[in-house]
A and B are shown apart, each in its own frame.
Chain A
Amino acid sequence: MTLELHATPEEVMRAVGAFEEFAQGQTVPEKFIHQLTLALEECASNIVKHALQGDAQRTFKANFGRTENEVFIELRDNGPAFDPTVHIDRRREDDAEAHGGWGIELVRRFMDELSYRRVGEENVLRLVKRLDTGGKI
């Protein structure tokens, strides 16, 4: 399933709602659905805020899929090259930049794989949750 979304918080939550419906239809366990929707919200919000500067005219894509053993979410945007998986020091509680690290921290904790690559003019972020018992619970 692929969605094209405008760079707004409301569109981020539209993607979250669509993913939730998709995952329920694929009988993904509820706990994993929650973790995946949170990871999607965090990553898509970062795209809207940072990559696309909150410009509602700009768009990004969300692609969801399921194989036998995993569920994946892939996000593509044409913002400047930016790897959100680079560690941010979140120990500085009062620093707005440190707060930005909270989202990625949640994604890292809940996802089994988080990978970034630059393909042509696109940032491509892939989140994977394994459905077998080898995945993070």
Chain B
Amino acid sequence: MPLEIQILRKVGGQHAGAVTVKLTGSLDTATAPELERQLAPVLGGDAKDIVFDLAQLKFISSAGLRVFSSARKTLKERNGQASFVHMQPQIQEVFEIIKALPGVAIFKDEAEMDRYLAARQHTYDEKK
């Protein structure tokens, strides 16, 4: 099963600058390098928060978790956050077993995610 990657950057409005990465298919030993390659310019830029939308992700192995872990680490270094939304049950199970991504936010839907991001934005604004 291949992996389709869509990277969307929010321009304007609430959460302007937030990056959403939509994954479709299988994130495995063969496809993880391509995700890593496509994330590199995003992580090398000024993105602080990345939301991984996994609604259409059917399979993940430790190769995929390593890419997420690396992204999470990079974002954390700049006080950012990796978040995950719409996980299918078999994907959630893998995350729960490995517990490889401490501190990441996992949301069941976008409404929950939007509330969380709004609260984070409020915190950033207060610190300025």
A residues near B (Cβ < 8 Å) are 9-10, 12-13, 16-17, 31, 34, 37-38, 41-42, 45, 48, 93-94, 99, 102-103, 105-106, 109
Contacts and interface: CB of A to CB of B under 8 A. Distances in A.
B30 A102 contact: no
A13 B73 contact: no
A34 B90 contact: yes
Query: Which 6 pairs from chain A and chain B are nearest by CB?
Result: A102-B62, A9-B30, A103-B62, A45-B29, A9-B29, A13-B30
B97 A109 contact: yes
Interface in B82-102: 90, 94, 97-98, 100, 102
Interface string B99-116: 010100000000000000
B30 A12 contact: yes
Nearest to B89: A31
A106 B97 contact: yes
A10 B63 CA distance: 13
Nearest to B101: A93
- Size range of the chain B interface in the assembly: 20 to 34
Given A10-B30, A93-B100, A106 B66 contact: no
Contacts of A34: 59, 90
Given A13-B26, A42-B61, A99-B66, 18 more contacts: A9-B33, A10-B30, A12-B28, A13-B28, A13-B29, A13-B30, A37-B59, A38-B94, A41-B28, A45-B29, A45-B61, A48-B29, A93-B100, A94-B73, A102-B65, A103-B61, A106-B62, A106-B98
Given A13-B30, A106-B94, A99 B59 contact: no
A104 to B, nearest CB: 9
A12 B94 contact: no
Given A37-B59, A94-B73, A102-B65, A12 B97 contact: no
B125 to A, nearest CB: 31
22 contacts: A9-B29, A12-B29, A12-B30, A13-B1, A13-B26, A31-B90, A37-B59, A38-B59, A38-B94, A42-B61, A42-B62, A45-B61, A93-B102, A99-B62, A99-B66, A102-B62, A102-B66, A102-B98, A103-B62, A106-B61, A106-B94, A109-B97
